[in-house]
Amino acid sequence: MIYNTLLLLNIIIFIIELIDRSVIYAFGFIPERALIEPWRFVTGMFLHGGLIHLFFNMFVLYSVGRLIEPRIGSEEFLKMYLLAGIAGNFLFLIIAYAGFIPKDTIGIGASGAIAGLLGAAYVFYPYITILLFFIIPIPMYAFFFLYLIIEFLGIFTMNYTGIGSAAHLGGALFGYFYSNHIKERERYW
């Protein structure tokens, strides 16, 4: 399954980061450099700010990937994952150029792509129960709605938190719309 490959790739790249932290500056998503170095839209997705950041992204990748990839197939899964991450970085770029965050802010992490998977989980499995904070059972549709609100509000506080809410929101919305497109296409097969 491709989600396992992505999980392993993220872990390997994190180990490389631990050996040489300069890869973050060389490959992280930096809005002011993204248009002249467009590979950053992708490479920033595979870098992480620490073990906890990596753990939570990989936990969700594994948990949600097991649901989504068998449902849509490996090729569509990989395409959605990468495009959701790119869409997240694109919204991060827009927010930076709108003045909400400095243009030299470094965005790293798979969170935009992971958020895309959450959007897909909402579309394909709106009534599954997830554990909010690993404790509170909540249906996916309620979690996703809450997630969108929190990330939207987070855009206006990113300077204080360091959390890339714009990337999360962009990825989640992409995953939602892309999955709806897949679902609609399936109706005519």
Mind spelling out the 3-state secondary structure of 29-47?
ECHHHHCCCCCHHHHHHHC
pLDDT of 188: 63
What is the mean pLDDT for each group of 10 consecutive residues in the chain (189 residues)? 94 95 94 95 94 94 95 95 97 92 90 96 92 84 90 76 83 96 78
Q: Which domain holds residue 180?
A: 2-187
Predicted local distance difference test score (pLDDT) of residue 160: 54
Question: Does this model's pTM top 0.85?
Answer: yes
In angstroms, the CA 118 to CA 132 distance is 13
Q: Residue 72 gets which letter from DSSP?
A: H
CATH number at residue 26: 1.20.1540.10
Q: Where are the alpha helices (DSSP H) in 20-126?
A: 22-27, 31-34, 40-43, 51-72, 74-97, 111-124
pLDDT at 58: 96
Residue 161, pLDDT score? 58
Structure tokens at 130: 């997830």
CB under 8 Å to 31, separation ≥6 — which residues? 92, 93, 96, 97, 101, 103, 104, 105, 107
Domain count along the chain = 1
